[in-house]
């Protein structure tokens, strides 16, 4: 066993102990393609990945405009978090504001997407 393996095992153990705090999150990648010619057709495809996250914080900007949420995600549960267009938790859509990945756990900041319940257009 390596130190990295020991740390992953410790993260898994801690993650299991906090199972009551888990929320299901769906990570969505949106792809669009356009076919030229007689059909002139636009095709959109959503690819989804669902994982458990732990919501640890909610904060609003001083103007009260956007809620920002901090969530934890195990690094091994998601590939390249920056490649996702949308994250849905409890039926509400969020976008990724920023994230920090220490190689074991990702701390992600999410904001309500335009048109979402947690977003007010200015």
Tens digit of pLDDT for each residue in 38-54?
A: 777 888 888 899 999 99
CA distance 60 to 11: 29
Name residue 31's beta-bridge partners. 45
Per domain, the residue ranges of the chain are 3-112
CATH topology for 3-112 is: Thrombin, subunit H (2.40.10)
* Tokens representing residue 60 in the block: 């609003």
Prediction pTM value:
0.76
Which residues make Cβ contacts (< 8 Å) with residue 96, sequence separation at least 6? 81, 82, 84, 87, 108, 109, 110
Q: What is the pLDDT of residues 56-115, one digit of tens each?
A: 987 776 666 667 889 999 999 998 998 898 898 888 888 888 999 999 999 999 988 665
Q: What is the pLDDT of residue 62?
A: 64
């Amino acid at each position: 066993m390596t130190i990295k393996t020991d740390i992953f095992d410790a993260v898994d153990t801690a993650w299991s102990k906090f199972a009551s705090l888990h929320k299901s999150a769906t990570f969505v990648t949106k792809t669009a393609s356009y076919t030229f010619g007689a059909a002139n057709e636009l095709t959109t495809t959503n690819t989804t990945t669902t994982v458990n996250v732990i919501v640890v914080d909610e904060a609003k900007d001083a103007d009260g405009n956007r809620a920002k949420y901090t969530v934890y995600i195990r690094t091994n549960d998601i590939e390249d978090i920056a490649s996702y267009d949308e994250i849905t938790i409890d039926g509400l859509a969020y976008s990724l504001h920023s994230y920090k990945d220490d190689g074991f756990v990702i701390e992600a900041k999410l904001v309500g997407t335009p048109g979402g319940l947690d977003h007010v257009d200015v």
